[in-house]
């Protein structure tokens, strides 16, 4: 079904080049994956510091390539690191008494940061529908539909099972359809 072989090979090649000291390879990897990471960060509730989160994700990943076992794709690994950073950031903010904690229900989608974007009415309705999903459904739906991750990859990112990812996806799909039909 999914056949990201070319991307996989390219990522592997770029990693190899970077490990041998080619900084352009690192730049290429960042350019390739940063947009997806930024979208994912927004979809799971990061509203500010998205650029910093993406940057930290790469710094952590490139700084610990020895820990990358290669049994997942680089992209999945990056999503996993970013997801953890977003959760850590949210917890840290929740501990700060002067800050406004980002609660799960408040994590919506980050689409309100997308000022200036022209959207069709249908697209806006889909955004509204996705915004109404539970955080878990929204995360799975975004990874599946927007980023094209397989259930296995989603399970790796979120630390769950393929079966659970599949159930969340179909529940999300049903909820979105019902919202659009209603």
Q: Nearest Cα to 36, choosing from 50, 26, 47, 48?
A: 50
Total residues in contact with another protein, by rule CB under 8 A:
90
Site for another protein in 111-150 (CB under 8 A): 111, 113-114, 117, 119, 122-124, 126-127, 130, 135-136, 139, 141-142, 144-146, 148
Nearer to another protein, 59 or 100 (CB): 59
Residue 113 dihedral angles phi and psi, to the nearest 5°: -85, 0
The footprint of another protein on residues 54-73 (CB under 8 A) is 54-56, 58-69, 71-72
Q: Which residues contact 159 (CB under 8 A, 6 or more apart)?
A: none
Residue 93 beta carbon to another protein: minimum distance, rounded to whole angstroms: 13
The least CB distance from residue 97 to another protein, in Å, is: 20
Least separation in angstroms between residue 70's CB and another protein is 10
Least separation, in Å, of the C-beta of 16 and another protein? Answer: 11
- The verdict on 80 binding another protein (CB under 8 A) reads yes
Is residue 175 near another protein by the rule CB under 8 A? no
* CB 153 to another protein: min, Å: 10
Q: Which is nearer to another protein, 35 or 163 (CB)?
A: 35
Q: Does 156 bind another protein (CB under 8 A)?
A: yes
Options 110, 133, 154, 175; binder of another protein; rule CB under 8 A: 110
Is 11 a binder of another protein (CB under 8 A)? no
Residue spans of alpha helices (H) in the chain: 5-19, 23-43, 50-63, 74-95, 121-131, 135-141, 151-158, 162-181
Beta carbons within 8 Å of 45's beta carbon, 6+ residues apart: 86, 90, 102, 104, 106, 107, 108, 109, 110, 135
- Give the separation between CA 87 and CA 95, rounded to whole angstroms: 12
C-alpha 3, offset from chain centre? 20
Instruction: Give Cβ neighbours of residue 107 (< 8 Å, ≥ 6 apart).
Output: 44, 45, 90, 135, 138
């Amino acid at each position: 079904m999914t056949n990201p072989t070319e991307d996989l090979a390219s990522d592997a090649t770029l990693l190899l080049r970077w490990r041998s000291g080619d900084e352009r390879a690192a730049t290429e990897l960042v350019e390739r994956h940063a947009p997806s990471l930024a979208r994912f960060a927004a979809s799971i509730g990061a509203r500010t510091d998205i650029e910093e989160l993406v940057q930290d994700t790469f710094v952590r990943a490139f700084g610990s390539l020895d820990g990358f076992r290669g049994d997942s794709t680089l992209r999945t690994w990056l999503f996993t690191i970013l997801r953890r950073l977003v959760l850590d950031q949210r917890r840290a903010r929740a501990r700060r008494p002067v800050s406004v904690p980002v609660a799960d229900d408040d994590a919506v989608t980050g689409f309100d940061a997308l000022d200036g974007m022209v959207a069709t009415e249908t697209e806006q309705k889909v955004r509204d529908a996705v915004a109404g999903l539970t955080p878990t459904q929204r995360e799975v739906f975004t990874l599946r539909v927007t980023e094209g991750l397989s259930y296995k990859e989603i399970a790796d990112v979120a630390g769950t099972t393929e079966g659970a990812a599949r159930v969340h996806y179909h529940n999300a799909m049903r909820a979105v359809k019902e919202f659009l039909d209603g």
